[in-house]
Structure 1
Amino acid sequence: MAEIKLELNERKHGSFNLYDEGKKIGEMVISISGTNLTVYHTEVDPAESGKGYAKQLLDTMVAYVRENNLQVIPLCPYVHAQFKRHPEEYADIWNKQTA
């Protein structure tokens, strides 16, 4: 079963990393500054595509943002597309002022 871990450096740059049996198979690259969490890139190993891992990364990031009262700046094309496709689901956390 896949596991997602948030791994940040001292400057709050890092990623939500997706592991399966100890092997990294995906990531969502982020940084946190003030009350904003910026998502730069989401990638899953092509051999693992179609298994819903990108959505799991998105859901984990969204839960973290809500728990920590942050706003999302979705620079990542995947995350931005999901926010645009489901605006009602992400309205409370989408920082549109930076778009």
Structure 2
Amino acid sequence: MTDIKLELNEKGQGSFNLYEEGKKTGEMVISVSGNELTVYHTQVVPEAEGKGYAKQLLDTMVNYVRVHKLTVIPFCPYVLAQFNRHPDAYADIWNKQA
């Protein structure tokens, strides 16, 4: 079973962590400040690549951002690539000015 948990410290830094059968399998490193969520890095362990875990992390982050009315600054190459490939899907949350 796949479980994704947002784990942030008191400064708003942390990650969306993906667990597969209790083992950490992937992460999306983020920080939240004001109304902005910055994504720095997305990674899935090599043996779990190709299973759609990065997309699950992306979808979870996007849902969190929309629920909390935030915008995204995508420094992460994976997230930026997805935003560029599907600009209409992320237009409401993509902070292009940052």
Structure-1-length-normalised TM-score: 0.98
- Give 1:30's aligned residue: 30
Post-superposition Cα deviations, 1:28-52, rounded to whole Å, max 9, x if no partner, equal: 0000010000000000001001100
Whole-Å separation in 1 of the counterparts to 2:22 and 2:81: 30
Alignment of 1:75-86 (within 5 A): 75-86=75-86
Shift >6 Å, 4+ stretches = none
Query: Which segments of 5 or more consecutive residues in structure 2 lack a partner in the other structure?
Result: none
In percent, how many aligned pairs have the same letter?
A: 73
Query: Which segments of 5 or more consecutive residues in structure 1 lack a partner in the other structure?
Result: none
Whole-Å separation in 1 of the counterparts to 2:20 and 2:52: 13
- Give 1:63's aligned residue: 63
Secondary structure, aligned partner of 1:6: strand
Give the root-mean-square deviation of aligned CA atoms. Answer: 0.3
Give the number of equivalent residue pairs. 98
Alignment of 1:32-47 (within 5 A): 32-47=32-47
- Give 1:21's aligned residue: 21
Report the alpha carbon displacement of residue 61 of structure 1 after superposing the two structures with TM: 0.1
Structure-2-length-normalised TM-score: 0.99
